[in-house]
Structures are given as structure tokens and as C-alpha cells.
């Protein structure tokens, strides 16, 4: 099925560990983004990309790293996990920034840092 695929769905990390959250889409979307969702705070933008080789910071980029080597993939790296990064992470994509078609979201990755 076409869409946005996120892996893993659940992950528990120890403080200081690093890991990569995967996001892939097969809709040939140029725009991809990462959000985190915390109770009572809505979704906050971490990083985004308007095309392969182009990335930029969002509202809460500290502690996260991204790269966009292909149109399909947009991995999010946690460099040294902290308990404050416990959250649900969503990847979203669209044809291009500001598209009239809106966003398509992945099903999320629930991360717990202990």
C-alpha cells in the first residue's frame, strides 16, 4: 500500500544511546518532515526537507539529526538519547511544501528513554 512507513513502532532506549528512526514514502513526495507529539502540546516540528539533499530545522531540532540522500527516505537520528526525548514521533510527507493536497502521516514511533 502506498503511504508513509515508519519503523520501528516502539523503542526503549537507555540514556546516552543513539538510534535512527526510519521514514520512507513511495508517493514521490518532495517534502518530508518529522514531528514529535507530547501530551497537551500538540505536534511540534523537529526537522523538514523540501527535496533530496536539502534539510532545515524546525521548532525543536536540538538533539536530533537528519539527512535526505534520496527522495524516498528521511531518517531521524537521536545522537545521545535523553529522557526528555521520550515522545511519539511522526513522519509526514507531501508533494511539495504548501501543496493543496496536504500532509500524509505515518503511524508513528513511540520512543521511551529510561
Partner 1 sequence: KQEVTQIPAALSVPEGENLVLNCSFTDSAIYNLQWFRQDPGKGLTSLLLIQSSQREQTSGRLNASLDKSSGRSTLYIAASQPGDSATYLCASYYGQNFVFGPGTRLSVLP
Which of 90, 93, 111, 113 is close enough to bind partner 1 by CB under 8 A? 90
DSSP character string of the chain: --SEEEE-SEEEE-TT--EEEEEEESS--SEEEEEEEETTTEEEEEEEEEETTEEEE-SS-TTEEE--SSSSB--EEESS--GGG-EEEEEEEESSTT-TT--EE---EEEEE-
**Count of residues that interact with partner 1, criterion CB under 8 A:** 26
Q: Which of 54, 97, 112, 114 binds partner 1 (CB under 8 A)?
A: 97
Between 50 and 89, how does the x/- string for binding to partner 1 read (CB under 8 A)?
Answer: x-----x-x-------------------------------
- Is residue 35 within the footprint of partner 1 (CB under 8 A)? yes
**Chosen residue from 1, 2, 14, 102 binding partner 1 by CB under 8 A:** 102
Binding status of residue 34 toward partner 1 by CB under 8 A: no
Amino acid at each position: 500500500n502506498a503511504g508513509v512507513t515508519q519503523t520501528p513502532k516502539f523503542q526503549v532506549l537507555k540514556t546516552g544511546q543513539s538510534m535512527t528512526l526510519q521514514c520512507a514514502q513511495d508517493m514521490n513526495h518532495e517534502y518530508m518532515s518529522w514531528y514529535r507529539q507530547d501530551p497537551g502540546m500538540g505536534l511540534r516540528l523537529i526537522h523538514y526537507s523540501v527535496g533530496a539533499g536539502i534539510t532545515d530545522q524546525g521548532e525543536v531540532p536540538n538533539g536530533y539529526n537528519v539527512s535526505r540522500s534520496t527522495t524516498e527516505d528521511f531518517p531521524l537520528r537521536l545522537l545521545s538519547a535523553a529522557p526528555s526525548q521520550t515522545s511519539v514521533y511522526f513522519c509526514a510527507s507531501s508533494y511539495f511544501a504548501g501543496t493543496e493536497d496536504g500532509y500524509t502521516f505515518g503511524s508513528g514511533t513511540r520512543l521511551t528513554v529510561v
